[in-house]
Amino acid sequence: MWRIALIAVLFVAACAPEFSPSSFVDKPRILGIVANPPEVPFTQENPGSVTLHVVVAMPGPDETGNLQQTALKDLEWAVCPMSLGAEATFACAVPEIPVLDTDFEARTATFDGQVLSTMIDFLADSAAEYMEFIRGTIEQDDECNNSALAAWDKCSQYEAAQLKTCQDDAFAMFKVCLLEKGLELMFHVTITVEIDGQELKREGYKRVAFRAPKEGRVPNKNPGFEVLYDGQTVASTDAVSNILAVCPGKRIKLAPRLFDDAIEFNPDAGGDEEFVFFSWVATSGRFRSIKTSMASIGEDGALEISNEWTAWELEAMPEQTTMWVFARDDRLGVAFVTFPVVPLIDPVCDVAGPNYAVVRDAGELP
For 219-260, the pLDDT digits (tens) are 899 999 999 999 999 999 998 899 999 999 999 999 999 999
Measured distance CA(49)–CA(52) in Å, rounded: 10
d(CA 99, CA 178): 22
198 and 74 belong to one structural domain: yes
Question: 169 with 193, same domain?
Answer: yes
The answer to whether residue 337 is domain-embedded is yes
Q: What per-residue confidence (pLDDT) applies to 21? A: 64
Same domain, 198 and 285: no
- In 99-141, where do the E strands start and end? 102-103, 108-112
DSSP-based three-state secondary structure for 214: strand
Residue 114's alpha-carbon distances to 48, 110, 164, 191, in angstroms, are: 7, 12, 27, 26
What is the predicted pLDDT for the residue at 364?
A: 67
Residues of the chain with pLDDT under 70: 1-21, 268-271, 295-303, 364-366
- Give me Rg for the CA atoms of the chain: 24
What is the pLDDT, as a whole number, of residue 295? 65
3-class SS of residue 64: coil
User: Residues 50-92: pLDDT tens digits?
Assistant: 999 999 999 999 999 999 999 999 999 999 988 887 888 888 8
**Do the domain assignments include residue 33?**
no
317 assigned to some structural domain: yes
Q: What is the pLDDT of residue 298?
A: 54
Instruction: Give the separation between CA 349 and CA 330, rounded to whole angstroms.
Output: 41
Task: Give the SS3 label for residue 179.
Answer: helix
Q: 343: Cβ–Cβ under 8 A, 6 or more apart, which residues? A: 245, 246, 247, 248, 311, 314, 317, 319
Strand partners, 327: 278, 335
Domain shared by 13 and 92, yes or no: no
In a domain, 34, yes or no: no
Instruction: Say if residue 311 is in the same domain as residue 165.
Output: no
**239 lies in some domain:** yes
Q: Residues 192, 235: one domain?
A: no
Domains contained in the chain, number = 2
Three-class SS of residue 181? helix
Do 46 and 185 lie in a common domain? Answer: yes
Q: Residue 344: what pLDDT?
A: 96
pLDDT of residue 250: 95
Q: What is the CATH number of the domain that holds 238?
A: 2.60.40.10
Contact present, 134 and 140 (Cβ < 8 Å) = no
* 5 is a domain residue: yes
Residue 124 has a pLDDT of 76
Domain boundary residue, one of 176, 201, 219: 219
List the domain range (segments joined by +) for residue 103.
39-219
Helix (H, G, I), strand (E, B) or coil at 163: helix
Q: Coil, strand, or helix at residue 175? A: helix
Instruction: Tell me which H or E stretch contains 326.
Output: strand 321-329
Domain boundary among 155, 189, 219: 219
Tell me what pLDDT residue 171 has. Answer: 84
What is the model's pLDDT at position 26? 94
Same domain (yes/no): 215, 111: yes
Q: Check if the beta carbon of residue 167 is closer than 8 Å to that of residue 152.
A: yes
Q: Let me know whether 74 and 154 are in one domain.
A: yes
Task: Determine the Cα–Cα distance for residues 13 and 265; give it in Å rounded to an integer.
Answer: 37
Domain membership of residue 126 (yes or no) is: yes
Domain boundary among 194, 219, 244: 219
Q: Is residue 55 part of a domain?
A: yes
Q: Name beta bridge partners: 34.
A: 53
Helix, strand, or coil (residue 244): strand
Residues 213 and 238 in one domain: no
What per-residue confidence (pLDDT) applies to 128? 79
Same domain, 339 and 289: yes
Residues 359 and 237 in one domain: yes
Burial (Cβ within 10 Å: 0-12, 13-18, ≥19) of residue 211: buried
